[in-house]
Amino acid sequence: MASRRNKSSDSKSSDKTTKGDRIVYSEFGDPHAAALQRGVQELPPNQQNLRVQASRKGRKGKTVTVISGFQLKPESLTSLAKQLKAQCGSGGTAKDNAIEIQGDHAQKLVELLIEKGYRAKVSGG
């Protein structure tokens, strides 16, 4: 005869593994803790080379202006994104050390960034 498993004991052990992020052992605690994250060196605006590019890839045909090349802390990046979105009168987001603003605002954003002291130029066609 084939051996039979006890389903009640298997379901109890699987309940323990599904909770949390399935880490069995961690020597230094939570890997996502702020104390273990690397610090980002925030450079002054005149030392940052920014690329402003209008993109439509992966956005269902919608044009988005992407500003990349930032070396800022996430808090500073979100506050700058908020200022730029207000100047353009459109929505957007700050993620992955880049700012995405809805619509084609490349020329206007380059002018605004240069006024703020950044070295920015339009990249791409």
- Percent of the chain having pLDDT more than 70? 70
DSSP 103: B
Q: 3-state SS string over 38-50?
A: CCCCCCCHHHCEE
At 45-75, the pLDDT tens digits run 888 899 999 999 888 889 999 999 999 889 9
> How many beta carbons lie within 10 A of that of residue 119, not counting itself?
13
Backbone angles phi, psi at 121, to 5 degrees: -150, 155
Give me the architecture of the 45-122 domain, per CATH.
Answer: 2-Layer Sandwich (3.30)
Domain boundary assignment for the chain: 8-36, 45-122
pTM of the model: 0.67
At 67-82, the pLDDT tens digits run 999 998 899 999 999 9
CA pair distance 104, 101, nearest whole angstrom: 8
Closest CA to 71 of 105, 45, 34: 45
